[in-house]
Amino acid sequence: MTTVGVPAGWPTSEEEARAVQDELRGRVVLDEPGPPPGTGRVTGVDVAYDDERDLVAAAAVVLDAATLEVVAESTAVGRVSFPYVPGLLAFRELPAVLAALAALPGPPGLVVCDGYGLAHPRRFGLASHLGVLTGLPAIGVAKNPFTFTYDAPAPARGSSTPLLAGAEEVGRALRTRDAVKPVFVSVGHRVSLAGALAHTLALTPAYRLPETTRHADGLCRRALKEAARGTAAEAPTSRRAPTP
C-alpha cells in the first residue's frame, strides 16, 4: 500500500480547481478510437472514504481484457485533498488514484473509472482529468445519470440511448443485463463513445457493473479498513487522572 501526500501546487479553492479544469479540458483527445475491446490490459480504479478520519483509499486493479482475470493490483491511501464540491470530485480522488496507478508493476492499458468523463457539468469528469494527466485512454462508467436525462433503453443487453444535457449527447445509457437498470457510459480521453460502449459490454459478462469496477471497489474498501485500523491504533488514548 502506498501512502499519498497532497501534491505540491494542488488546488485548495473552488476558483483554483475550476481554473485547472478550464486549462486541461482543451487537451482531451476525442478523435482516437482507443484499444480494441478484449485485447491487452484494462484497469479499474475506484476510491473509498472515511470522512471521520479524513482518509481516502484508491485501488487500481488490472485485468487481462480477454479472460477478465486479475493480473495486478495496487492501493494508495492518504488524506482527503479537497473538500466535497459537486463537479470538482476529481480533486478529492486523483492524488490517491494516480499513486495507485503509479504503483502498478506494468502499464495499465485502458482505464475504467467508476464515474464520468464528458458526462460532467463542465465536460471534464474524473475519466477525462485522469486521462489528460496520464495520457492513458480512459472511460467513465457510472451507476447513475448525475444531472443528465435519458430515455430508458430497450430491455435487451446492449441496448442504449443518449445521455443528454439539453440537446447535447454527453454519453449513453447502456443496458448491460437484460431488463436491469442501465449504466451510464461516457468518453474520458483517447477513446470513442462506440469504443467505450464496446469495452463496457466486454467487461460485463455476468453483472451490471464492469468487472474492473467490481474488483477495484472491493479492494479500495479493504485498503480503507486497514488504514483506518492503523490510524485508530496510532491515536493516543486518554486516561482519567487519579482521584486525589
SS (H, E, C) 66-100: CCCCEEEEEEEEEECCCCCCCCCCHHHHHHHHHHH
CB 58 within 8 A of CB 75: yes
Checking if the pLDDT of 71 tops 50, the result is yes
Report the predicted TM-score, pTM, of the whole model to 2 decimal places: 0.92
For the chain, what percent of residues have pLDDT higher than 90?
86
pLDDT score, position 244? 30
pLDDT score, position 241? 33
With 0-12 / 13-18 / 19 or more C-beta atoms within 10 angstroms meaning exposed / middle / buried, residue 234 is exposed
Of 93-107, 117-131, 229-243, which gets the smallest average pLDDT?
A: 229-243
Report the C-alpha gap between 22 and 72 in whole angstroms. 34
Of 45-59, 152-166, 201-215, which gets the smallest average pLDDT?
A: 45-59
pLDDT score, position 171? 98
Checking if the pLDDT of 230 tops 60, the result is yes
CATH number attached to the domain at 26-225 = 3.30.2170.10
Checking if the pLDDT of 211 tops 90, the result is yes
pLDDT score, position 236? 38
pLDDT band at 240 (very low <50, low <70, confident <90, very high): very low
Rounded mean pLDDT of 160-186? 98
Where do the domains of the chain lie?
26-225
Which three cell numbers, joined as nine digits, stand for 63?
485485468
Checking if the pLDDT of 51 tops 90, the result is no
pLDDT score, position 1? 79
